[in-house]
Amino acid sequence: MLLRHTNKEIKPRESLTVNPAKTCQPIGAMYASLGIHNCLPHSHGSQGCCAYHRSALTRHFREPVMAATSSFTEGSSVFGGQSNLIQAIDTIFTTYEPDVIAVHTTCLSETIGDDVNQIAIKAVKDGKVPKGKYVIHTSTPSYVGSHVTGFSNMTKAMATAFSKSTGVSNGKFNIIPGYVEPSDMTEIKRVVKEMGIKPILFPDTSNVLNGPQTGKYKMYPDGGVTIEELTSAGDSIGTIALGNTASADAARALDTRCKVPCQVLDLPIGLAATDRFINTLRTVAGVNVPASIDLERGQLLDIITDMQAYLYHKKVALAGDPDQLIPLVEFLISIDMMPVHIVTGTPGKDFVKRIEALTADLPYKVNVKAGGGADMYLLHQWIKNEPVDLLISNTYGKYIARDEDIPFMRYGFPIVDRVGHSYFPSVCYKGGMRLLEKILDLLLDRIDRDSLEETFELVM
Amino acid sequence: MSLKTKDQIETTTGRTEIPDPEMVKKELIAKYPTKVARKRSKQIMPNTTDECGNPTVMGANVRTVPGIITQRGCCYAGCKGVIMGPTRDIVNLVHGPIGCSFYAWLTRRNQTRPPTDQDDNYMTYCFSTDMQDNDIVFGGEKKLKAAIQEAYDNFKPKAISIFSTCPVGLIGDDVHAVAREMKEKLGINVFGFSCEGYKGVSQSAGHHIANNGIFTHVVGENDTIMDADYKINLLGEYNIGGDAFEIDRILGLCGISLVSTFSGNSSYDQFANCHTADLNAVMCHRSINYVADMLEIRYGIPWIKINFIGAQATAKSLRKIAQYFDEPELIERVEAVIAAELPEIERVKEEVKQRCEGKLAMMFVGGSRAHSYQGIFKEIGMRTISAGYEFAHRDDYEGRRVIDDIKVDADSRNIQELEITRDETRYNPRKTEAEMAELAEKGVAFKEYNGMMADMDPNALVIDDISQYETEKLIEIYKPDLYCAGIKEKYAVQKSGIPMKQLHSYDSGGPYAGFKGAINFYKEIDRMVNSKVWGYIQAPWQGSPELSAKYGWE
């Protein structure tokens, strides 16, 4: 047994986290920064964080992930990291020539209280920031929230650093897609355009972290939201923020700053959440839903109808990030499955409330926990007490899946042992079809594996 | 880099013209701001020697230039991630916010095989105090104590070790005091490491701190002497992809017993008992030379440098160990094992060599492999044209004879040097001075490591703490056939159309050590440099972008 020390008996834990269902802020900020065109993320801390975050993102996307670091030493940890950051800005603009450096912090620079804003202003004064180039920044203390919080903080920073309201509408909608895969961002853009709406999508990591092999390495790939688009975001008709944890802060900041009205929706995962997304787009933009979208919805529904028998009352355990888990749980319920154990390491009371509301009509009480103590060790203990038919989580779930012999769907961040997730969407109706196909494949493979020879079926 | 067709690959085979390393160096630093260029010029050196044959002085183990895009990690990674992480039966509790423990959770491929299903194995677990803002403001000692208690209640481990992360040192949590208190309370060994990420300039500081900690808190705790003829410790072997398993297999065939491995597939008891071995064989010099030295001073165990990467190096290392014990029976057995393993190696090597001969490799790996893999490339006819370490010291580049000349700079001065003295009761010189001198005469060099540069071509370029920019330039200038480094470099190199071998994680392959490992490695390199994929980069229509007026079906 790989997790041989995990016992059925659950002892209360207040202080010890075992096998977390989250990681720390800066990696989310780094991911968001990569969604700006010609941007180099910068980690203001000691260099280990930056190396770990780059490695983790690289393992997940199997793409180059570039970022610089202030490389704190013990001296700068005591006396402040100002000279490190100013030197870094100089070295970066001279050597790597980005248009934007997006600075985030770590628990080190946050604990010592470095004032990054003041340092950035000094860098401009000292002539270290070439004309037409930018340094933006956000605070991402690792001891608050999770990687999703870091993503949210950087997304907010990119909205507020550039957006301007000129008083003339650009006729577009801002779409904040949340902490999702590049493939999901592509899909969201496609659907919005299909509806006849012009989007400004940010951050946008499509074509950055799912790029092609061309024989030529491009440090700044073709994708990413441009500075012009971010500036123009202040003139948009409205903002749609997908995922409360990752996207709401940026949308509200744009509202406050440029009076761009916003709506916060769930990530469009599964049938109902995508319905709400499409319906909102239709209403706010005053457009008709095209037949092509109706067709996709119908196709998703068709698969559910066809294969419903295999889904009915199957128990599911889930670990992941709150914005994904909420619509995913809703989707599972809508296809007659039974989510029974749910954890997210990201703290927040709203998550538990939303899950409880979504599962209120189920004939049992779900195990749900967020934040401190909500780790995959607890999830595993719950599973030992009440076994499930399917486990959905990032790659770390494979250890539980193997020990307990549970069909396992990789979902969320990070997935480091398979490829495809950054190229194929799981949002909107198309993504719903893909999720359903994956779930059904797993459940049917299990039936094939376990069936007796006489009940081994050709047609299912 | 344009695509490489099969023809072009063949024309590169056997090429002898290499760009002048001095010119390459100039080009690598030309774009940097003046101060940065000056600093980097001390860490980029053509592999020349002075009139006495001593290699050039390498700038190494100095602080990283902020913003340069280094591949280096931190002190915590060196301590927890590298040295202590592979130990299976100690609960490694990380005191800090969640990231540090999350990123070191199963990401290095230290394989583990406990003797039975009942034995402790915490490798798949990740333990953290998950510090919150409150802990930063009011201190985290209380939470740390509670976490240790909860770890004990849930897991009942043999020992618990604590790893400090960046904020811990800043807010003044005393992890050692907490460890002492909890050791007293729980009656198991609890010990701490002050391996805050900002200490030193790289992972290297963490190695030193781990060496000191394990030596202080665990080594010597168990005096049981193993009943075996030839007892050694394998130091600095972390069992990536099963390397240590293959080395174990070979040693087993030779009749040599391992008291401990530092620290692939290791256990608490091995560390506690390692002072009873008769010889230390040091694989990774950088990470573990401190323990090797301390074991010699305190307990009288000599150490030799060995290398199990490549068939020749493996054979040589086995012979060296046998020579040390100086028993005809052992020497004979070692020769028999080598003779039995070699034919299969020769067969694969000769086949692979036909397709790899003359190809150029580059290696930029941690603190050891950039050197230890050069021999295995030679075995299949490949040349290492440029190499360097992330965090090695001058002695790893130039050899241990420069140790006395190394000045510890301000950034590393606070890494503790333990004052080790002889253990009055347990000190036992394994060989008399006369025997040692006689062995030295026969060529068994004790406490000696000549460094990487001595083994490299005179026109090779040595680069310490290479940056992303320098990597791209090197590839552009040399157009190597293979680039070896880590995960952060992998995909940028690959997108340039150059095969890229990870020599940290082995790209999920391995083992590469020992005899079976050599075969695996030959085959893997053959696959990589000769893969068809590099021929597909250009689409058929990209060669002639003009629309032809003639259609295919006409």
CATH number for the domain spanning A365: value is 3.40.50.1980
User: The tokens 């870091």 sit on which residue?
Assistant: A150
Q: With CA atoms as reference, report the closest residue to A212 among A428, A66, A422, A415.
A: A422
CA–CA separation, A252 vs A231, rounded Å? Answer: 16
* Contact (CB, 8 A) for A323 and A355: no
Suggest the residue from B38, B107, B125 to mutate for an interface test with chain A (most A CBs closer than 10 A). B125
Question: Mean pLDDT for each consecutive 10-residue tract of chain A (460 residues)?
Answer: 97 97 98 98 98 98 98 95 98 98 98 98 98 98 98 97 97 98 98 98 98 96 98 98 98 98 98 98 97 98 97 98 98 98 96 98 97 97 98 98 98 97 97 98 98 97
CA-CA distance, A66 to A220, in Å (whole number)? 9
Is residue B16 scored above 90 in pLDDT?
no
User: Do residue A278 and residue A368 come from a single domain?
Assistant: no
Decide if pLDDT at B4 tops 70: no
How far is residue B375's CA from residue B384's CA, in Å, rounded to a whole number? Answer: 9
Choose among B257, B249, B266: nearest CA to B514: B249
Of the pLDDT bands very low, low, confident and very high (cuts 50, 70, 90), residue B543 is confident
Asked if residue B22 has pLDDT above 90, the reply is yes
Residue of chain B nearest A212, judged by CA positions: B495
Mean pLDDT of chain B: 95
- Report the pLDDT value the prediction gives residue B226, as an integer from 0 to 100: 96
- What backbone phi and psi angles, to 5 degrees, belong to A247? -120, -20
Beta-strand ranges (E) seen in A139-259 are 173-176, 199-201, 238-242
Contact B274, B543 (CB under 8 A): no
- Cβ distance of B170 and A72 shorter than 8 Å: no
Kindly list the strands in the beta sheet with A315-319, ordered across the sheet, starting from the edge strand earlier in the chain: A367-370, A338-344, A315-319, A390-393, A408-410
A372 burial type by CB count under 10 A (0-12 exposed, 13-18 middle, 19+ buried): middle
Give yes or no for a contact between A185 and A243, defined as CB atoms under 8 angstroms apart: no
* Residue B197 half-sphere exposure toward CB, CA atoms < 13 A: 31
- Per CB-CB distance under 8 Å, the chain A contacts of B200 are 74
Q: Searching chain A, which residue's CA lies closest to the CA of residue B410?
A: A75
For B247-332, strand residue ranges (E) read 256-263, 279-282, 303-305
User: What residue in A sits closest to B148 (Cα-Cα)?
Assistant: A16
Cα angle value A50/B468/B379 (rounded, 5°): 110
Residue A69 and residue B493: Cβ atoms within 8 Å? no
Contact predicate A155/A143, CB 8 Å = no
* Residue range B235-285, pLDDT digits in tens: 999 999 999 999 999 999 999 999 999 999 999 999 999 999 999 999 999
Q: How many folded domains does chain A comprise?
A: 3
Q: Which two tokens stand for residue B342?
A: 């070699």
Higher pLDDT, B51 or B166: B166
Dig out the tokens for A276 from the structure. 């709400």
Would you state the structure tokens that stand for residue B338, as one six-digit string?
Answer: 């080598």
Residue B547 has pLDDT above 80, yes or no: no
Distance CA A223, CA A221 (A): 6
What pLDDT score was predicted for residue B552? 56
CATH number listed for the domain at residues B75-218 = 3.40.50.1980
Nearest-by-Cβ selection for B66 from A70, A108, A219: A70
Are A92 and B490 a contacting pair at CB < 8 A? no
Confidence of residue B15 (pLDDT cuts 50, 70, 90): low
A372 in a structural domain: yes
Whether residue A285 is found in the same domain as residue A297: no
Tokens of residue A137, six digits: 């920044």
Rounded to an integer, what distance in angstroms lies between the CA atom of residue B244 and that of residue B482? 26
Whether residue B554 has pLDDT greater than 70: no
Substitution target from A65, A84, A143 for chain B, most B beta carbons within 10 A: A143
As a whole number, mean pLDDT of residues B383-390 equals: 98
- Cα(B78)–Cα(B82) distance, integer angstroms: 5
ipTM of the complex: 0.98
Domain locations along chain B: 75-218
Task: State the pLDDT at residue B18.
Answer: 87
For residue A179, the SS3 value is: coil
Q: Is B129–A88 a contact, with Cβ atoms under 8 angstroms apart?
A: no
* Per-position DSSP letters for B452-475, written without gaps between them: SGGGS-TT-EEESS-BHHHHHHHH
- Looking at residue B13, its pLDDT comes to 47
Same domain for A220 and A321: no
In a mutational test of the A interface, the residue from B27, B491, B532 whose CB has the highest number of chain A CBs within 10 Å is B491
Q: Could you identify the residue written with the tokens 């360097």?
A: B388
Q: Do residue A2 and residue B97 have CB atoms under 8 angstroms apart?
A: no
> What are the catalytic residues of B?
74, 77, 108, 207
Rounded CA-CA distance A196/A132 in Å is 33
DSSP B179-199: HHHHHHHHSSEEEEE---TTS
- Going A351 to A353 to A357 to A359, the CA torsion angle's sign is positive
> What is the identity of the amino acid at A71?
S
| Nearest CB partner across the interface for B166, out of A13, A106, A219 | A106
Nearest to B411 among A23, A73, A396 (CB): A73
pLDDT in tens, B29-50: 999 999 999 999 999 999 999 9
Residues paired with B266 in a beta bridge: B87
Considering only the C-alpha atoms of chain A, give the largest distance between any 2 of them, rounded to a whole number of Å.
80
Q: Find the angle CA(A353)-CA(A358)-CA(A363) to the nearest 5 degrees.
A: 115
Q: Where are the beta strands (DSSP E) in B47-131?
A: 90-95, 127-128
pTM above 0.95, yes or no: yes
Whether residues A304 and A417 share a domain: the answer is yes
Residue range(s) defining the domain that contains residue A253: 173-290
CA distance A276 to B267: 55
Per residue in B122-174, pLDDT (tens digit) is: 999 999 999 999 999 999 999 999 999 999 999 999 999 999 999 999 999 99
Do residue A154 and residue A213 come from a single domain? no
- Using CB atoms, which residue from A59, A216, A219 is nearest to B1? A216
Q: Which of A16, A47, A143 sits opposite B131 (nearest CB)?
A: A143
Burial of A183 (0-12, 13-18, 19+ CB in 10 A): buried
Decide if A130 is inside a domain. Answer: yes
List CB contacts of B408: < 8 A, sequence separation 6 or more: none
Q: Quick one: pLDDT at residue A374? A: 98
Contact A4/B117, CB-based, under 8 Å?
A: yes
Closest alpha carbon to B516 in B293, B299, B314, B260: B314
Q: In the structure, what pLDDT confidence band is assigned to residue B11 with cuts at 50, 70 and 90?
A: very low
Whether A323 is covered by a domain: the verdict is yes
- The CA-based diameter of chain B, rounded to the nearest angstrom, is 95
Judgement on whether residues A297 and A420 belong to the same structural domain of the protein: yes
What distance in Å separates the CA atoms of residue A238 and residue A234, rounded to the nearest whole number?
Answer: 9
Report chain B residues whose CB lies below 8 A from the CB of A49: 74, 99, 197
For residues A35 and A152, give the distance between their C-alpha atoms in angstroms, rounded to a whole number.
13
CA distances from B356 to A282, B13, B520, B525 (A): 61, 8, 15, 8
Phi, psi of A224 (to 5 degrees): 105, 145
Domain-ending residue, one of A274, A290, A306: A290
Average pLDDT of the residues in B98-124: 97
Q: Is the residue at A14 inside a domain?
A: no
Cα–Cα distance measured from residue B121 to residue B91, given in angstroms and rounded to the nearest whole number: 9
Q: Do A18 and B125 touch (CB under 8 A)?
A: yes
End of a domain among A290, A323, A347? A290
DSSP conformation class of B78? I
Q: What is the rounded distance in angstroms from the CA atom of residue B193 to the CA atom of residue B212? A: 9
Instruction: Specify if A15 maps to a domain.
Output: no
Strands B159-164 and B90-95: parallel
Task: Please indicate whether, in this complex, the C-beta atoms of B127 and A17 are within 8 angstroms of each other.
Answer: yes
Q: Is residue A243 part of a domain?
A: yes
Q: CB within 8 A of A401, min separation 6: which ones?
A: A391, A407, A408
Interface size A-B, in CB pairs within 8 Å, comes to: 263
Residue B7: pLDDT band (50, 70, 90) is very low
Contact A77 B170 (CB under 8 A): yes
Do A318 and A412 lie in one domain? The reply is yes
Q: Is the pLDDT of residue B8 over 80?
A: no
What pLDDT score does B389 carry?
98
pLDDT at residue A367, as a whole number: 98
Residue at which a domain ends, from A290, A319, A334: A290
Q: Could you give the residue ranges of the DSSP H alpha helices within B124-261?
A: 133-138, 141-155, 166-171, 175-186, 203-217, 243-254
